[in-house]
Amino acid sequence: MAQATKKKPVAKAAGAPVSARIAAQAHFHTLRLGTPFQPRIDALARTQDWYNWAGYRAPHSLWDEELEYFAIRSQAALFDISPMTKYRIEGPEAEALLNRVTLRDVTKLRPGRVHYTAWCDDEGFVLDDGTLFRLSPTRFRLCSQERHLPWLLDSAVGFDVIVEEETEAVAGLALQGPTSFAVLRDAGFAGVERLKIFDLADFPHDGGPQGNTQVTISRTGFTGDLGYELFVSADMALSLWDRLMTSGDLRGIRAIGYTALNRARLEAGLIVANADFTTAEHAIRADRLRMPDEIGLGFMIDLEKGHFNGRRAILEARAKRKLRYVLVGLEIEGNIPAEHAIVYHKKAHEVGLVSAAMWSPMAKRNIAIASLARPYGDTMVEDLWVEIYAMRELQYQKLMKRAKVVARPFIKLDRRTANPPADF
């Protein structure tokens, strides 16, 4: 495993030599890093079905995609989120910095709370979306799909703040599903029942080589279900895993891979960077760039809060009606997933593409997320079709299926937000 600690790239390093910046991005040096949970995951990996998540070796599935999905919806699923990029942003002006970088108003995010947000480049194109954890008045954790250290350091110029990559130093787990609360309670996390959706708190954890330490638990997740996310320093990872597995044994706890999670998130209507939209730094073609309003994140934009990156461009795009795309939820007739299908108007005119699709066992509907060129999906929502190529014994069966624009999320589970959380 790669070293978990390294020289701290602080904001002052904005003007520091390039070599310091390169050293601060050591993830390039090892191909497919293991996460702090790797020994446990390797032991459970019967399918040996791996993929590359931000440079880490992560499982698509561990034993059975279908059953892993149902672990999320009817038991408790444990998913390793350590590869998620994590930054510690701390200092008297951390709030001001994040308010300038991200779209939402960070002054409204109280300590002990989490919000989902996104950030843009100067042109108003989305660089990434992610979750912002306010650990204290002056300390934040920003989690995202892509790496952003150079961007954050350059953004920190002129702010009294430290920006540090902590992806390797901090291990993360998502515990999701109806019995997740009971698992945590039985594991001895006293008071965890007080966490409302998007709350976070620190809990003691005794199990690492250094003895007593803290685990940060938030009532968040990527499944639309009752669930939690847990963060500990990397050296505590295995003892935390064992603690949860032990207490969850009778509650059906299962480790899962990404395929199952991906289904749950689609049902929850959540989007994934570089799956449902191309992030600005990845896009090569000019028409692949997306503004928040073009991927359903317009609600985050707070024009009253003061300046933030991309504000000017976003305002101009809105005023001059330069928004060209829209991201929508679709319900498609039949039951064949329309994965990456082309969307047509009147069966003839190509207007967009499905980026994620599935038959939803929970919604009992054939659902999809698609990006359409306006006005389709925006003001023109009638007469939309998707063309599905279903491979049937070495022959494509081309199906033209009616698609209806519907609201996201596709499922709404009361247990996600119920207080106190239900004991299953």
Partner 1 sequence: MTSFDAIIIGGGHNGLVAAATLAKAGRKVLVLEAGSEVGGAARTEEFAPGFRASSIAHLLNRLHPDVVKTLELEKHGLQFGRADFMPSVALSKDGPPLVLHGAYGEVLTGASSSEQSAWKGLRAQLLRYAGILKPFLYRRPPDLAGMSLLETVSLGQTALALKKLGKEDMRDFLRVLLMNVADLLDEQLTDIRLKGLLAFDATLGSHLGPRSPTSLLGLYYRLAGETDGAAGAQVLPQGGMGAVVTAIRASAEKAGVEIRTLAPVAKIIVEKGRAAGVALDNGEVMHASTIVSAINPATTFLDLVGPREIDTGFVRKVKNIRMKGDTAKLNLALDRPPQFTGVDAAGHKGRLVIAPSPDHVERAFNPSKYGEFSPEPVMEITLPSLADPSLAPSGACVLSAVLQYAPYALKEGWDAGKPKFLKAVMAQLESYAPGIGKSVIHAELLTPADIETRYRMPGGHWHHGELQADQMLVSRPVSGWSGYDTPIDGLFLAGAGSHPGGGVSGAPGLNAARRIIAMKG
Binding site for partner 1 (CB under 8 A): 96, 100-101, 121-123, 151, 154-155, 157-159, 307, 309-312, 315
**Shortest spacing between CB 301 and partner 1, in angstroms:** 13
Cβ nearer to partner 1, comparing 66 with 316: 316
**Shortest spacing between CB 296 and partner 1, in angstroms:** 23
Cβ nearer to partner 1, comparing 303 with 407: 303
**Shortest spacing between CB 168 and partner 1, in angstroms:** 24
Instruction: Kindly give the residue spans of alpha helices, DSSP state H, lying in 81-227.
Output: 94-101, 149-155, 180-186
Q: What share of the chain is helix, strand, coil (3-state, %, to 5)?
A: 25, 35, 40
CA distance 341 to 403: 11
241 is written with which tokens? 């895993």
CB crowding 218-250: b at 16 or more within 10 Å, else e: bbbbbbbbbbbbbbbbbbbbbbbbebbbebbee
Cβ nearer to partner 1, comparing 159 with 376: 159
Within 10 angstroms of residue 156's Cβ, the number of other Cβ atoms is 24
State the amino acid at position 281 in one-letter form: E
**Shortest spacing between CB 63 and partner 1, in angstroms:** 44
Can you count the helices (H) and strands (E) in the chain? 10, 19
**Shortest spacing between CB 119 and partner 1, in angstroms:** 9
Q: Which residue ranges are tagged as binding site for substrate?
A: 229
Between the two ends of the chain, the Cα-to-Cα distance in Å is 37
Rounded alpha-carbon distances, angstroms, from residue 52 to 35, 41, 246, 281: 12, 15, 29, 19
Cβ nearer to partner 1, comparing 307 with 398: 307
Residue 31 burial (CB < 10 Å; 0-12/13-18/19+)?
Answer: exposed
**What is the pairing mode between strands 170-176 and 227-233?**
antiparallel
Cβ nearer to partner 1, comparing 102 with 218: 102
Cβ nearer to partner 1, comparing 88 with 100: 100
**Shortest spacing between CB 304 and partner 1, in angstroms:** 9
